[in-house]
Amino acid sequence: MAGRTIGESPGGDLRVIALHGHDVACRVAGEGPALVLLHGIASDSGIWSAVLPGLAERHTVIAPDLPGHGMSDKPRGDYSLGALACGVRDLLAALGVERASLVGHSLGGGVAMQLAYQFPERVERLVLVSSGGLGREVHALLRAATLPGAEQALALLGRIGVLGAGAAAAGAVGRIGLRPSPDIAGIAESIATLADDGTRRAFLDTARAIIDPGGQRVGALDRLYLAAGMPTLILWGARDPLIPVSHAYAAHELMPHSSLEVFERAGHFPFRDDPVRFVTALSDFVASTAPADRDEAALRELLLAGGGTGT
């Protein structure tokens, strides 16, 4: 595959590829049908470390650091879902991957749905994990990032997270209603990254592209009917405090051919709460479904039938 390898780990090679003059980092492991793991906001590809080795036993796993995140560059520019989806498409093209199954967590779920909408010929299956873009409700912590003065508050939180190795930040998020590890651990890790100016700016640009003080302002509910021919699996934690599990049930109802699995004891990070179950569910789903076959005539019929909910 293209790019230069800058590190190795049990989770695969860490590579960097230059796209449009900016470095994009990604982890690559395993062999087999391509599986792309897309992380959430203020996170990076390392979030998948508990499940990546297991998934790599059957698949070529590609886990990028989305632009503005992790070891990828953080240029000033467009951090909308459409731009992020184009970035993933370009990365896959550079790696020589024509088609893949997409697995998106939180923000990554919104990116995965956008990519499937914009470039359906590249998507074989869709897996949404505690996904954004499926309803208005979202935790106040994320809504607050869109308010005036958020940059200064986030800079302070980021410095606290770094200085306290995440412990102080974990205590802070615990006091606003997030459950113990791995929810608190995941959010604390994200907060600690915001001490970096470029990361913090990219986080705010990304958050404000999809969220306003009232909640998520970008959604896919009115277009989910277009996924009728797309094998889709929805995975969610019943105790998710950031994006409620009710979004999973609503999306499942709007996608009659989708499969839904709720992790009863998990929060926003079901792949960290129960990695073995997550790997099994995802691997079985890929093995038991046929890749989507893009059909322009069927798409035209769906569009003309006006199957959207308008919700």
State whether residue 192 is helix, strand or coil: helix
Architecture of domain 4-136+218-305: 3-Layer(aba) Sandwich (3.40)
Model pLDDT for residues 190-216, shown as the tens digit of each residue: 777 787 888 888 999 999 999 999 999
| Residue 12 bridge partners (DSSP) | 9
The CA-atom distances, in angstroms, between 193 and each of 64, 65, 234 are 17, 13, 28
Distance of alpha carbon 147 from alpha carbon 251, whole angstroms: 28
Distance of alpha carbon 192 from alpha carbon 156, whole angstroms: 10
CA angle 303/309/310 to nearest 5° reads: 95
Model pLDDT for residues 155-184, shown as the tens digit of each residue: 666 666 544 444 444 455 445 454 455 677
The residues spanned by each domain of the chain are: 4-136+218-305
Task: Pick out the chain residues at pLDDT < 50.
Answer: 162-170, 173-174, 176, 178-179, 308-311
Distance of alpha carbon 206 from alpha carbon 298, whole angstroms: 33
- List helix spans (H) across 176-295: 183-193, 197-210, 246-254, 270-273, 275-288
By annotation, the residues acting in catalysis are 106, 240, 268
How deeply is 304 buried, as exposed, middle or buried, from its count of CB atoms within 10 A (0-12, 13-18, 19+)? exposed
85 near 58, Cβ under 8 Å? no
- At 260, the amino acid letter reads L
- Residue with tokens 């789903």, as numbered in its chain: 285
pTM listed for this prediction: 0.88
- At 92, the amino acid letter reads L
